[in-house]
Amino acid sequence: MHEERMSTKTDPVHYENYFASKKPMPLSGARIRNSLDKTIEGHIIVCGIVEGIKNLILPLRTKQLGTQMRPIVILSNDIVGDEDGNGDTYIWSEINRFEEIYILKGSALNPADLERARIQKARAIIIIAKTTDGSSSSNRKMMDADAIFMYKTIEANFKNLIIVTELASMQAIAFLVPGNEERY
């Protein structure tokens, strides 16, 4: 009981309100080696992983959704522990108690990686912008280039998919609106 109270002090999340386990999932248990299991459908693919990703996962794991909890596949080339699934990182320790979260090494810019994440059976995809604190305006626009390219590629090839895209620069939104490309 004392141990549970101490963890609440360091982690203000009340996990009983979320689809979460009492015991953290080891990174090796969440890592997908080849392709996502064929039984997983209607999942959410998150392209990229950043510090603070817990803030994205929390509303997707709230019990207020009822039975609407969907598996989450994080597709990223960024390192989350070593290749053997060891070396739990700060980012993984933020989300390792939430149910049905999978890590797949790869990029949304690679069609083969999207196929391994079973994008054709996914419900939604979330594209996280690469951000760097204190970036200049021109650097923020360049950071958005990958996110915009991912969005355009996915939109063209997967019609029944909800796409949510985070951008570092508000001006980059114009590239996501149909018919605005010729102005730039």
Residue 27 confidence (pLDDT): 87
Residue 126 confidence (pLDDT): 96
pTM of the model: 0.81
Q: What does the pLDDT look like over 51-84, one tens digit per residue?
A: 889 999 999 999 887 777 899 999 998 866 554 4
What is 2-183's CATH topology? Rossmann fold (3.40.50)
Residue 179 confidence (pLDDT): 62
- More reliable by pLDDT, 1 or 124: 124
Residue 95 confidence (pLDDT): 92
Separation of alpha carbons 172 and 153, rounded Å: 16
Residue 112 confidence (pLDDT): 93
Mean pLDDT value of segment 122-141: 73
Distance in angstroms between the alpha carbons of the first and the last residue of the chain = 60
Residue 66 confidence (pLDDT): 77
Residue 12 confidence (pLDDT): 74
On whether the CB atoms of residues 156 and 148 are closer than 8 A, the answer is no
Mean pLDDT value of segment 87-112: 86
